[in-house]
Structure 1
């Protein structure tokens, strides 16, 4: 999943600088005046935005922040935290539970999955702060016009559709995963033999092929900015087949113990981060070509969390 998620958004460069901002709702914290905090984030669009967002917020609150956004790969970011080379990172509960902690089966329920990874990762000296509503996982989408025609909002409705409407676009990895396409079909009472067509395409092509009607149902990532940009509707995974990948800020426990203000600062951001918000922010980078750091600061300003310098 972690590789697929990285492929789901465009790669962007990042200077590692922390853009300046003035206090607003996020105010200077006396306890952070002498804090040296290193933020690490991965090298795909959403993570670049989030890493810069966290860096700007903590800097505005008074910390001396080193911004290590654009760190290659999930395990590179994870190693930085575990080895003490970084202190804070935006992460995903499913990535922590499955990829880092080595569990095969996800935990149903957002709260339950977060608590499970939080409790297990405490042994590694890491604290998972309360998660955001945003859940960056697999899903299937359909163009809005076709969704209205077929009257579908959830994946369980697909088994009742005429067979000729069951056309799918998927990427190669998902098509061949043990927890991928065919197991998902089985969870929803479908078999490959019932489908009219399955096209295996590169990730980016899946979105445009779905929007253009080459297939009715395309594999997507739920926070991808192309979903609103191409007027796609994400179907509800009403049998909860896909693992939950809620966003959570992870902090080294000794750093959080020394600087508890970190939780207060980040706690002003996390509840605001929904799938729709991240879709919009990702689209500003991937579709409009904006810089991830500027997108991060603009959003903080729009939400009244910081002000322009």
Structure 2
């Protein structure tokens, strides 16, 4: 991709976005391995990272693509020889690429690591305690290091309904799902949310709603994440899987049910990196410590909106934010 390709990409996005939005796919695909040109800002060249080969991965959904590109651009500005492997399909694939040594680092959520990778059933309600527990256990068991501090925002799972539905049935909390007639307990969810320990089946169990008799298997409408909002607004399901930093919740007139039993863990993102790589390049800790605290809920929701609602490319969204922060030029 040429350095001057931004205008062409925006024009193409403007032409294709109406079609892609109808399919729920606009903004959800990676920008391949394209890395925009940046110069050092407050991120200065780091001697220990000069020409160091660092392979960065991410998952394939919008927020992860943006975070992945932020990591890529930060390392590039610091002088590293960055390999962009962002856009892995699913958490398990992403994680395995790092534990196997095919990639070196990426942003991961503390709740995902605690429940899905480390096999713990009971999340810790204090975000810092959750981070510390993940950091200590993952290093001890898997030689994966987590860089402090984690970002302050919590991109936890949630279930959302149309405001009209919420008012009709008096739905405020996940426990109120039991107020719905069984035939109305329908869910639009992504495939991974159906399979994860911290997904829909675990949530139903936590709230005493039995899978099968309380929610028949036919009540699950499995679809890509981008189509979930359309599924709820078009009444293909009553409840939809969402995440708290997604700007499409408000844009689609949805409301999120509270989680009074604290089933869903804290999902604060932080850089996880192979221990060997961190030993070779301890400078990584300070590099990302200058970025993580800036990633607030409002910031991440705005960045996600630029991709999902405006059709911008994750790589350029990441670059423009980093420029606005003075991290790069």
**TM-score normalised to the size of structure 1?**
0.78
Q: Aligned to 1:78, which of 95, 98, 112?
A: 95
> How has the CA–CA distance of structure 1 residues 184 and 83 changed in structure 2, closer, same or farther, with 3 Å as cutoff?
closer
In the alignment, the residues of structure 2 paired with residue 41 and residue 282 of structure 1 have an alpha-carbon distance, to the nearest angstrom, of 15
Residues 35, 73 of structure 2: 8 Å contact kept: yes
- 2: distance between equivalents of 1:75 and 1:215? 27
Aligned residues of 1:96 and 1:117 also touching (Cα < 8 A): yes
> How many angstroms apart in 1 are the aligned matches of 2:36 and 2:207?
47
What is the match of residue 41 of structure 1? 58
Check if 1:139 corresponds to 2:164.
no
Q: Distance in 1 between matches of 2:62 and 2:170?
A: 33
2:108 to 91, 95, 99: 91
Find out whether 1:105 has 2:115 as its counterpart.
Answer: no
Q: C-alpha offsets along residues 199-250 of structure 1, whole Å, 9 cap, x if unaligned? A: 5434445423444577664332223342233243333323201233321101
CA–CA distance in structure 1, aligned partners of residues 153 and 220 of structure 2: 27
Matched, 1:282 2:323: no
Whether 2:193 is the aligned partner of 1:171: answer: no
Alpha-carbon RMSD across the aligned residues, in angstroms, is 3.6
Larger deviation: 15-24 or 210-219?
Answer: 210-219
Could you state the TM-score of these two structures normalised by the residue count of structure 2? Answer: 0.74
Indicate how the Cα distance of structure 1 residues 241 and 8 shifts in structure 2: closer, same or farther if over 3 A, else same: farther
Q: 5+ residue gaps in structure 2?
A: 1-23
1:155–1:98 distance in 2 versus 1, CA, 3 Å: closer
Is 1:233 the counterpart of 2:237 in the alignment? no
Q: Which residue of 1 aligns with 2:279?
A: 257
Q: Report the CA distance shift for 1:97/1:63 in structure 2 as closer, same or farther (over 3 A).
A: same
Which one of 240, 246, 258 corresponds to residue 224 of structure 1?
246
Instruction: State the Cα distance separating 1:180 from its structure 2 match.
Output: 5.0
Q: Secondary structure at the match of 1:89?
A: strand
Structure 1 regions of 5+ residues with no counterpart?
1-6
Counterpart in 2 of 1:4? none
Q: Distance in 1 between matches of 2:198 and 2:111?
A: 14
